[in-house]
Amino acid sequence: MLENVWNNIILLNLRDFENISVDFYINIFLFFLALAIVACAFVFEYSRGVMHVAVKQLLRHGALGEGEAKTLSKLGLADNKMVKLFLSRDTRLSKLLSRVGAPDVKYEDFVKMKRAEQKELFRVDFSKDRFYISDENSDQANRVFSSYAFSLPRFLLFALLVFLLWGAIAAFSYELISYIDSVLLNK
C-alpha cells in the first residue's frame, strides 16, 4: 500500500504517460513549491512581528515626537539585528519611524551626489541616533501596533493548509494527468 502511494502519488513522473514525454516528477516539484510558500509566509509573518515589536517599544516609551525621541538602547532594541536591518534599508519600518537629524534632501540633489556621499549622508548610527513616531505617521503606527503581532497559530494554520492542499493535489494528480493524457490521445 505504502509503496503504491510512494510510486503513484509522490514519485509521479510525467514520462509515465504516453502523450507526455517530459521527464518531470510533478508532485516532488509541488512539494518543494509548498515548502517555499511556507518559508515565504514565515519570513513575511516574522517581518510583521519585528515591525510590531519596534512600534510597540516606541509607543510604550512615549517616543511620539522629536522631543521625546529615544535611542535603540533605551527602547530595548539595541540587540535586535532585524530592527537595525529594517531601519538601515528602505523598508516600511524606516518610513514609519523618523530619525532625529535625518537629512532632508531633495531628489534632484540626491541624484547629483556620488554613491559614497549618498551612503555617508544616510548612514544610521544605531548607538547615537534617536527615533520617534511623527504625527503624520501616528495612525499608521497604531495600525501596525494593533494588527502586526506575530501569530504562531495563524502561521501554523497556514502551513497546515498549504500541505493539505499539496496532499489533495498529489492524491488527485494521477487521475488528472491520466485525463489530460487521454484527451491528448483522442486528438
- Which range, of 53-57, 160-164, 175-179, 181-185, averages the lowest pLDDT? 181-185
**Cα-only R_g, the chain:** 26
Tens digit of each residue's pLDDT (9 = 90 or more) over 7-47: 555 666 666 666 566 666 777 777 888 889 999 999 888 88
The continuous run of DSSP H or E covering 74 comes out as helix 72-75
pLDDT at 16: 67
Indicate the range of 54-63, 83-92, 116-125 predicted with least confidence.
116-125
SS (H, E, C) 61-123: CCCCCHHHCEEHHHHCCCCCHHHHHHHHCCCHHHHHEEECCCCCCCHHHHHHCCHHHHHHHCC
* Domain total of the chain: 1
List % helix, strand, coil for the chain (3-state, nearest 5).
70, 5, 25
Starting at the edge strand that comes first in sequence, how are the strands of the sheet with 70-71 ordered?
Answer: 70-71, 130-133, 97-99
pLDDT in tens, 67-95: 888 988 999 988 889 988 888 877 888 88
Q: Which residue range is the domain that position 167 belongs to?
A: 2-186
